[in-house]
Structure 1
Amino acid sequence: QTDASYTTDGHVVPLSYTDTEGATVNLDYEIPSNTQCFQCHNKSNIITPIGPKLRNMHFNNQLEDLIGDGMLTNVTNLSELEALPSWEDTANFTLEERARAYFDVNCAHCHQPEGSCGTETLLDLRYETRFNETSIYETRFSILTRIQNQIPDYGMPLIGTTIIHDEGVALILEYINTL
């Protein structure tokens, strides 16, 4: 696909893809409405992007490529930038580092004091938050139940996803089972 259309209304589109095992997966992909998008892209009542952050992209020459293409400016010394651990890199990072990085990338945009869930829960999933201030331990059973289900208005994330990230769930399950 090379074209995109802007719409403020959410809708469902049929989608087909090949998974890592080579099997074809058919599903109905839910595109959130403009109002639903604001639920997650809300930081202190300002619409903000939740995807690319320098520390999430500081590997495999991604930043160098963006600088070279003129898409990233005002970065003078890449060696001074922090990088999050790769959640897949079992050789160089501990289970806790990988799980906490996964939480930061996938959950902390909502689950932090200024995020859209900041008033609903004490859960703070930013990587730099000290463990005893995250509430991960206190909410561990809820976390596991919610990331393993696609029940409307219950599974996590609440909107913006159609499939469960099995590898991510396995990582978080392994981590929480060590607590």
Structure 2
Amino acid sequence: MYRVFIFIFLFVLGCSQEPHTKEFSPHNKLSDYGFFMGKIREQIPQSGVIPYELNTPLFSDYTNKKRFIYLPPNSAIEYRPSDILSFPQGSILIKTFSLAHDMTNNKRREKILETRLLVNTKQGWKAYPYIWNSAQDEAYLELVGDIFDVSWIDKNGQRRTNNYVVPNVNDCKGCHFKNDKIQPIGPQAKHLNTSGQLQQWQKMGHLKKVPAQDIPQIAVWNDENADINDRARAYLDINCAHCHNLHGPASNAGLDLRSENLDRSLLGIYKSPVAAGHGTGGLSYDIFPGKPQKSILLYRMQSTDPKIAMPELGRGVVHEEGVLLITQWIENMKETKDE
């Protein structure tokens, strides 16, 4: 019992103090944070580390993700109806990426590739990538990122390969930059509002000021029983809107792909591109209703050419299921303008 008490004390002390220092100094090894109990590869969270899910997750080259939030002792997240929830200083967002060896096997083995930390320090949010070793028993800090080959068997039984990219610290700004500062992407009420997750956090004291009703919620992108417009808008929101919004890194493109945007032109419907070039494919509109193959949006989703592909970061293969969804969505749009 005495040894257990000492371990818990050291875990709380270690995680609670470091993000509060003037200059947060990341550990070289992921295990040194004490986020997980037992074997670190099993990702079993300690008390004070909260697992969470999103309605519709970002596509990242068919990897699976486990997400956690570390909250400092005696602190709580503050609810916001829009934008990112308000996290207390010292919070750490933890996301581990793994890839199944064989996606046709329900009891599939996975290889853990990386764990990314987003730390809310006194200087703002800071990103730290950790790459897992071949023994799968530790991950090490790699500020410069990495690129390595991965392979897997897809759901159709075909062998696939990819150059997997672990972003460096500066790459993280490419997606996580808004209003001239780094911010998280996923932890918004509309993405977290699933299976009573927010209400459970409130009961546990992790989240405050949660309204009794009218909490926004986006659709599950691959729920075939849901409205296809809601599914497509949810997909574009999580995969594209962190850049394509009025204050994001790609605001000059004139697109606002957030699910709450109701302006058809800002959504890209019959909107001409801001600049010509490889990224347009010689096409006239970002979205051409009824004609997906004449839509720049779909053209860029179908490409892996770095000069064309969207999103620009975090994707090295085409998301076939996502392309199908957006294709069907555009096909279902009624044409209201002559070609």
Q: When the two structures are superposed, what TM-score results if normalisation uses the length of structure 1?
A: 0.84
CA distance in 2, matches of 1:69, 1:23: 44
Bigger Rg over Cα: 2
What is residue 250 of structure 2 aligned with on the other side?
A: 117
**CA distance 1:67–1:20, shift in 2 (3 Å):** farther
One of 35, 45, 48 as aligned partner of 2:180: 45
Find out whether 1:167 has 2:167 as its counterpart: no
Find out whether 1:26 has 2:158 as its counterpart: no
**Moved >4 Å (runs of 4+):** 64-70
Task: Give SS of 2:315's match.
Answer: coil
Find out whether 1:126 has 2:289 as its counterpart: no
**CA distance 1:132–1:76, shift in 2 (3 Å):** closer
Asked whether the 8 Å contact 2:176–2:184 carries over to 1, the reply is yes
CA distance in 2, matches of 1:135, 1:95: 16
Asked whether the 8 Å contact 2:178–2:248 carries over to 1, the reply is yes
Task: Give SS of 1:83's match.
Answer: coil
Q: CA deviation at 1:23?
A: 4.7
CA distance in 2, matches of 1:165, 1:3: 29
CA distance in 2, matches of 1:113, 1:11: 31
Q: Which amino acid aligns with 1:59?
A: T
What is residue 85 of structure 1 aligned with on the other side?
A: 219
1:46-84 Cα offsets, whole Å, 9 max, x none, are 0011123221122234445655776x4215446442111
- Percent identical across equivalent pairs? 30
Q: Which amino acid aligns with 1:136?
A: G
Find out whether 1:107 has 2:261 as its counterpart: no
CA distance in 1, matches of 2:332, 2:214: 33
- Across the aligned residues of Structure 1 and Structure 2, the Cα RMSD in angstroms comes to 2.4
Find out whether 1:147 has 2:291 as its counterpart: no
CA distance in 2, matches of 1:168, 1:143: 12
Q: Which runs of 5+ in 2 are unaligned?
A: 1-111, 113-136, 272-285, 288-294, 334-339
Q: CA deviation at 1:19?
A: 3.0
Find out whether 1:73 has 2:207 as its counterpart: yes
Asked whether the 8 Å contact 2:261–2:267 carries over to 1, the reply is no
One of 140, 151, 164 as aligned partner of 1:16: 151
CA distance in 1, matches of 2:200, 2:318: 30
Q: Which has the higher contact order (CA 8 A, sep 6+)?
A: 1
CA distance in 2, matches of 1:129, 1:54: 16
CA distance in 1, matches of 2:163, 2:202: 36
**CA distance 1:79–1:20, shift in 2 (3 Å):** farther
Q: CA deviation at 1:104?
A: 0.8
**CA distance 1:133–1:16, shift in 2 (3 Å):** same
Q: When the two structures are superposed, what TM-score results if normalisation uses the length of structure 2?
A: 0.47
Task: Give SS of 1:159's match.
Answer: coil
Q: Which amino acid aligns with 1:10?
A: G
Q: Which amino acid aligns with 1:85?
A: A
What is residue 59 of structure 1 aligned with on the other side?
A: 194
Q: Which runs of 5+ in 1 are unaligned?
A: none
CA distance in 2, matches of 1:78, 1:58: 13
